Amino acid sequence: MRVVALAGGVGGAKLAHGLQQVLAPGELTVVVNTGDDLEVHGLPVCPDGDTVLYTLAGVANPSTGWGMADETWAVMGQLGRLGEPTWFALGDRDIATHLFRLARLRAGRRPTEVSLELSRALGVAARILPMADRPVRTQVRTTDGWLAFQEYFVHRHQEPEVHETRFDGIDAAAATPEVADALAAAELIVLCPSNPFVSIAPILAVPGIRAGLQGARRRGVRVVAVSPIVGGKALKGPADRMLASLGKDVSALGVAREYRGLVDLFVLDRVDAGLLPEVRALGMQAAATDTIMTDDAGRARLAADLLRLAAAG
């Protein structure tokens, strides 16, 4: 079954890894948010894309949610001695990824081509596609004013309240041929348990992607979303605090409302099964299962559940 998953960072990467485990090689395409991308010490860094890449390659740091396992920090240490800012930590092996990308971008390759090359170099079975080749930069309006996403997320530890989001460059971006082809060939589309406002929303805002989803739905392809909020809390990141500061329900229901009109089946955790009637009242199907992925087997189990629930119609 050809599956397209839309993903941000950690939660999206885990479910993508589950899907990669249960699908045949070549069946999974992951479209990743690039709104978090940034330049660090001149290097093109793709936090969400790299988290997905490392997770699918089995080399992700198991505890941080970013970076590679078994890292060393020699480059960063020396940059600090040179007086450079070090709040955005890049491990030595991670820097090799960014140099691989830098060299190819400078040679004129598209980000999509580089992403596919990186996936091959790390032995990843799935296709990982940036949501767009043109740069999109998520900005958040906070109590401290407008901030670039990583300034808010990493440098200020997600402490300022978010009141608005904006995706700079989105009008000039477009679904790439690879993303458009994947959506056109999809038999199932999954919105991963990622932040709806700063991970999934920028992907859907890329001109052509929402239309691609709707086109797939008209062909009978189902769009399934998994809630990143469990028991009113985000498993990782600031999604719960954003729901609150944006004036939404801090719950799986609040997430489901964001996906109204786009999603056929909304999957939430068993602990939130009480919300199922209200989610269904939004005009979508709903189901509860165990959505917490504590290990590789847990990721595969949730992926298998999704395929089963989607097939059940």
Question: Which structure tokens are listed for 73?
Answer: 């920090």
- Select from 24, 26, 58, 96 the one that contacts a copy of itself (CB under 8 A): 96
Least distance CB 199 / a copy of itself (angstroms): 26
Residues numbered 99-158 forming contacts with a copy of itself, rule: CB under 8 A:
99-100, 102-103, 105-106, 118, 121-122
Cα distances from 124 to residues 29, 57, 111, 151, in angstroms, run 11, 5, 17, 30
Give the residue among 110, 115, 109 at the shortest CA–CA distance from 7. 115
Q: State the amino acid at position 226 in one-letter form.
A: V
| CA–CA gap between residue 18 and residue 63 (Å, rounded) | 18
Q: What is the DSSP code string of 191-215?
A: E-SS-IIIIIHHHHHSTTHHHHHHH
Say whether residue 185 binds a copy of itself (CB under 8 A).
no
Say whether residue 174 binds a copy of itself (CB under 8 A).
no
| CA–CA gap between residue 254 and residue 227 (Å, rounded) | 9
Least distance CB 37 / a copy of itself (angstroms): 15
Q: Which residues pair with 222 in a beta bridge?
A: 188
Nearer to a copy of itself, 14 or 98 (CB): 98
Least distance CB 120 / a copy of itself (angstroms): 9
Nearer to a copy of itself, 107 or 312 (CB): 107
Nearer to a copy of itself, 18 or 49 (CB): 49
Residues of this chain that bind a copy of itself (CB under 8 A): 39, 41-43, 72, 74-79, 81-84, 92-93, 95-97, 99-100, 102-103, 105-106, 118, 121-122
